[in-house]
Amino acid sequence: MKTRTIRIGLCGLGTVGQGVWKHFSASRARLESQLGVKLELHRAAVKDPRKKRAVKIPAGRITTDTLAVATDPKIDIVCELIGGTGLARRVTLAALARGKVVVSANKALLCAHGAEIFAAARKGGGHFFFEASVAGGIPIIKALREGLVANRFRLIYGILNGTCNYILTRMSLEGAPYAAILAEAKKLGYAEADESLDVEGWDTAHKASILAFLAHGVWVKTDRMIVEGIDRVSPIDIRTAATLGYGIKLLAVIGRDFENNELFVRVHPTLLPKDKVLANVNGVFNGIAVTGDVVGTTTYIGRGAGQDATASAVISDIADAVTLLTTGKAVAAGRPEQGPRVRLAPLEHVISRYYLRMTVKDQPGVLAQIAQITARNRVSIASVIQTAAGRTDAASLILTTHESNERAIRSTLADLARLKSVLEKPLLLRIGEFTD
Ligand code: HSE
């Protein structure tokens, strides 16, 4: 019997695309023998063919016509590695409409257009695989869809952005300056082309939206989440958190209250007790703790960004796509459960402890004014620390609170902003004492 040839097209040859080309070429023979097919990297579409690239690709295999790769009848699997939501969306929809398998690392696209993409796949007979979109090399999509299919998920929380974890780790271990570390994260191929997506929390939010969809069957857009980044976290916060027994991590938290059928998705820098596994996940590594009602908590750790980790996930999707094309069977279980439609939790149901750092006038009565505001908002103070603020007339005042909720803390912040003795916008961090 003649061995079938499966042809793959790459759209985009940036950091991830080149990684896929490199590692796929190196492991092609082994993959062919494992999958029982011949595999061919048929064509790659790029914006600028003259750009210097680390991988050598024959000129005849390169084109600038990205849509032609997506619609080429010879190509079975289209890898969309362009990023963004413009051309990437057109490429994805065009390939799905022709019944192709699309493999994507594009978390922003999925978060913004997930429902449209899956509908297009159903209509056109295509399939959409996206293991590389969340947590780089960690097979978290597979874990949720396959390994944990018996479970419902009360809590998922995780470090989903390698760039931010790299920055926070180096700030905490070496006290290195923020801007210099960010520049290094860019050089290492961790950061997005627009790094504000990383440091302002949007990239984590896109990934959280995908995990929430897999776990709960609804797309939560970023404007329905709390999204805060690491750009205002300073060495003083890292030092104070360490003194209190915490590390600071940018976390996505997806919580579900099954009794009231409510869901929340939030992204923010979080003080995590040092004895939690994820508090010790450092550098570019990501980590995700998933609490299922049958299995309990399982934790996943691995490189969350960078060429090699992401290529590993893309190639795993290519292998699954080949299995689908040759056997007609998808490896993963079908669509996420579509139970009674879950509601987004109101802010007063989103509970946390809080860390609040303020730069205040260093004079009598200021602490009393602040305490009056917290009392009025029924926010109970757990501890108060005062340190120097780097100027003679002011001090840094750091409060931690007992459990409160997002509504009460927002109102507290609004009241504090009106105080003349509070000199800058306070920094709010959450304290994540998760019961796994
Ligand atoms: N910029 C992303 C990160 C890349 O730092 O995690 C992986 O999605």
Residues in the chain: 436
Secondary structure (DSSP) of 386-410: EEE-SSTTEEEEEEEESSEEHHHHH
* Bridge pairing between strands 404-405 and 427-431: unpaired
Say how many Å lie between the CA of residue 165 and the centre of ligand 1: 10
Phi-psi region at 168: left, alpha or beta (left = phi > 0; alpha = psi -120 to 50) = alpha
Q: Is 136 in the pocket of ligand 1 (CB under 6 A)?
A: yes
How many C-beta atoms lie closer than 10 Å to residue 204's C-beta? Answer: 31
Contact (CB, 8 A) for 128 and 117: yes
- Residue bearing the CA closest to ligand 1, atom 1: 191
Whose CA is closest to atom 4 on ligand 1? Answer: 305
Distance (Å, whole) CA 370 – CA 374: 6
| Burial group, residue 423, by CB count within 10 angstroms (0-12, 13-18, 19+) | middle
Q: Is the CB of 192 under 6 A from ligand 1?
A: yes
- pTM, 2 dp: 0.96
Q: Domains in the chain, please, with CATH?
A: 5-136+307-327 (3.40.50.720), 140-303 (3.30.360.10), 347-431 (3.30.70.260)
Ligand 1: atom nearest CA of 286 is 6
3-state helix, strand, coil in the chain (%, to 5): 40, 25, 35
For residue 176, the model assigns a pLDDT of 82
Question: For the chain, which ranges sit under pLDDT 70?
Answer: 331-340
Beta bridge partners of 158: 252, 288
Distance 317 CA to ligand 1 centre (A): 18
Instruction: Give the tens place of pLDDT for each residue, 146-184.
Output: 999 999 999 999 999 999 999 999 999 988 888 899 999
pLDDT value at residue 250: 98
Kindly tell me the sign of the dihedral angle through the C-alpha atoms of 421, 353, 277, 142: negative
304-327 tens-digit pLDDT:
999 999 999 999 999 999 999 999
Nearest to 266 by CA among 195, 349, 163, 356: 349
Q: What is the pLDDT of residue 341?
A: 81
CA of 144 relative to ligand 1 center, distance in Å: 20
Looking at ligand 1, which atom is closest to the CA of residue 166? Answer: 5
